[in-house]
Structure 1
Amino acid sequence: MKRNFDDLLLGSIELFCLAAELGSFTAAAAAASVTPAAVSRSVSRLEQRLGARLFARTTRQVKLTDGGRVYFEQCRQALSQLVDAERLVSGAQAAPAGLLRISVPTPYGHYRLLPLLPQFRQTYPGVEIEVHLSNRNIDFADEGYDLAIRGRGPADSSLIARKLEDAELVLVAAPAYLRRAGAPASLDDLQAHDCIQFELPSTGRRISWPFMVDRQVVEVATGGGYCCADDVLGIVTLARAGAGLVQTYRFIVEQDLERGDLVELLPQFGGTSRPFILLYPQVRHMSARVRTFVDFLLEQLARPRA
């Protein structure tokens, strides 16, 4: 096997990653117990080897270039795999450690995933967790994520998909809106109401609302004077303020319903749901932190709820 990296180059990659994480050559130098000049030389050595700038430097800060960001994500992942390999061979794999990067939609992050993370880290304090809250699709290879949670299965056959749950949908409105506009008695009545819209970031399309009619799912197109894009929690905030009707996940509004801040509507047409699916790349040797976290999520989330 041809040797592509010497000890000096591997050290330069580690210092580059440290500078990228901390956003400062000085901070990276302090963390690595070297001089800022040594960090600067390491970065220059890499830039010369690659024929591309990794940082845009100013007098006040250093910032990754687009190429530098791609290189950083790949290098960070590779260094993490080296650490995992050492633990695997040395027998230290029983204690998962290292950085775990997760991408999750905003509502599922706030109401399902984030509340569970302290419990996980109390058991596995060596694992650091970075959560990306967004409804956009991510690229595992280019962006260096370990796991993602999404509302549909992957088009990429190299990804493993595990269903976490089917999240029930519910139609709600605030009492203030219902006093002003009245409550719908049928699905046809929705056309006369302000139905708060959500625009899918991936397509720019406004989503229809599914209802159960005679044991069949019927998609209903609605309209209204409000629309939110990207952050689905925005439509719930509008509903709480009395802006109109909204169909959302029950787990988001269950406390509002208990307090009476929101009222459930047309329950006779309820029972529809949307799935949430855990995605991660197929790899021959899954790191301990990823494997442990996958098992933890499946145990906590992929089970019937009261």
Structure 2
Amino acid sequence: METLTNLESFVRSAESGSFSAAARRLALTPAAVSRNVAMLERNLGVRLFQRSTRKLTLTEAGESFLAAVGGNLESLQNAIAAVSADDGQPAGVLKISVAPSFGIGYLLPLLPEFLQRYPRVRPEWHFENRTVDLIAEGYDAAIGGGFELASGVVARTLAPLHVIAFASPAYLARHTLPADPSGLIDLDCIVMRSLSSGRIRTWNMRNAQGDEVIATMRETVVVNDPTAVREAARLGLGVAMLAVPDVLPELESGELVRVLPRWWADAGALSLYYPSRQLMPGKTRSFIDFVVEAFQREDYARRFAGSLG
């Protein structure tokens, strides 16, 4: 009887046309995927792929075999996931993507409690400032904002993503505060250049009365990382704008102070993304429930709302 690992390595390699892409999806090395496929070919006594330095293509036998097992593989995985969920002990590698600032500040501190509750789950958490392809890259879940909902992916809203203006008390003591966001142009500003577009983001701020004003910021300091933006503001270099989660501890401690506290920009929602499957693996379900529970316990939906002033 052929192993599920060998079959899965074959199917994912055929779907992606690459051992490397299949390895990323399966959380294996390309060499391991190649070995699994070679073992499958040896056991079957046929060549399933034509290999070259540039591409991987199915042989006629490989195409026939993929048609026979491709759909059944999902059923086998769902059956295994159901067993994992039913025995009350989620297990396996949990591959998560999350932005470094949010992941280290909010998610990582939850890890000891999560592992105590689910000791058979092995975290593989990627802290990265990019939007990942959950299905193609083999992630179990991701936390962030602005993900495109590709087929088979769902989003569960955790909290609003409101962008606010802030500065250090020392900087504000030396300058006159603006009456509305248009006045930010008269102050030193710390802005962030997008890693994906290379552009500096501008924000359309609003207030509770429904007024909207573009926040035009003078580019005194330019960086490309939200943590650097926050630290530059703490050093008194000017006014900056970030989502509330990126600066909440400093706001609550008084190290940073909101500028224009009645104004904010809506950047969408902070969401938990995960592949929608008929039977979700126990490790993924346990992580989703755990994160939702933690957000409710810490009242993050309210604390992240910049509209509260």
Provide TM-score, normalisation by structure 1: 0.70
Q: Secondary structure of the residue that 2:262 maps to in structure 1?
A: helix
For residue 127 of structure 1, the aligned residue among 121, 127, 134 is 121
Equivalent in the alignment of 2:97: 103
Q: Judge conservation of contact 2:93–2:121 (CA < 8 Å) in 1.
A: yes
Deviation at 1:274, TM superposition (A): 4.0
| Matching residue of 2:289 | 295
State how far apart, in whole Å, the 2-side matches of 1:12 and 1:274 are. 36
Task: Work out the CA distance in 1 between the residues paired with 2:35 and 2:95.
Answer: 29
Following superposition, the deviation at residue 140 of structure 1 comes to 2.0
How many angstroms does 1:53 deviate by?
8.0
CA distance in structure 1 between the partners assigned to 2:123 and 2:55 by the alignment: 24
- Report the residue type matching 1:154 in the other structure: E
Match of 1:191 in 2: 185
In structure 2, the CA distance between the partners of 1:105 and 1:202, relative to structure 1 (3 Å rule), is same
- Does residue 1:150 correspond to 2:144, yes or no? yes
Unmatched 5+ stretches in structure 2: 10-18, 42-46, 57-71, 304-309
Which residue identity is paired with 2:165? L
CA 241–79 in structure 1, closer or farther in 2 if over 3 Å, else same: farther
Alignment of 1:235-254 (within 5 A): 235-254=229-248
**1:175-234 deviation line (CA, Å, top 9, x unaligned):** 3333455443432321112221122333223212342243244442323122222x3222
**Pick from 5, 10, 13: which aligns with 2:6?**
10
Q: Within 5 A, what are the aligned runs for 1:67-82? A: none
Alpha-carbon offset, residue 286 of structure 1: 1.0
Task: State the match for 2:155 in structure 1.
Answer: 161
Match of 1:203 among 188, 197, 206: 197
| CA distance, structure 2, for counterparts of residue 91 and residue 173 of structure 1 | 47
Distance 2:143 2:105 in 1: 13
Query: In 2, Cα distance between the equivalents of 1:291 and 1:209?
Result: 36
Identity of matched residues, %: 34
1:192 and 1:293, CA in 2 relative to 1: closer, same or farther beyond 3 A? same
Tell me the CA shift for residue 99 of structure 1: 0.7
CA contact (8 A) 1:154 1:279 kept: no
SS in 2 for 1:268: coil
Superposition RMSD in Å:
4.0
* Gapped regions of structure 1 (runs ≥ 5): 29-38, 55-64, 68-77
CA distance in 1, matches of 2:36, 2:264: 60
Tell me the alpha carbon deviations over residues 118-172 of structure 1, each in whole angstroms, 9 at most, x when there is no partner.
2222111111111111221111232111111221253424211110111443321
Q: SS at 2:280's partner residue? A: coil
Deviation of 1:40 (Å): 11
* SS state at 2:196 partner: coil
Amino acid at match of 2:245: F
Aligned residues: 266
Shift of the 272–12 alpha-carbon distance from structure 1 to 2, 3 Å rule, reads: closer
Q: In structure 1, what is the Cα distance between the partners aligned to 2:8 and 2:244?
A: 50
Partner in structure 2 of residue 221 of structure 1: 216
Q: Give the Cα–Cα distance (whole angstroms) in 1 for the partners of residues 5 and 265 of structure 2.
A: 58
Q: Note if contact 1:99-1:130 (Cα within 8 Å) is conserved in structure 2.
A: yes
3-state SS, counterpart of residue 267 of structure 1: coil
Q: Please, which of 256, 262, 273 is the counterpart of residue 256 of structure 2?
A: 262
After superposition, the Cα gap between the structure-2 partners of 1:289 and 1:100, relative to the gap in structure 1 and judged at 3 Å, is: same
Whether the 8 Å CA contact 1:154–1:161 is kept in 2: the answer is: no
Q: Do 2:182 and 2:216's aligned partners in 1 also have CA atoms closer than 8 Å?
A: no
Give distance in 1, aligned partners of 2:78 and 2:123.
16
Query: What is the distance in 2 between the residues matched to 1:185 and 1:193?
Result: 12
Structure 2 counterpart of 1:10, which letter?
N
Residue 299 to residue 251, structure 1, CA distance change in 2 (3 Å): same
Give how far 1:52 is off.
4.2
Give me the whole-angstrom Cα distance separating, in 2, the residues matched to 1:9 and 1:287. Answer: 16
Paired with 2:255 and 2:197, the residues of 1 have a C-alpha distance of 32
**CA gap 1:288/1:250 in 2 versus in 1, 3 angstroms:** same
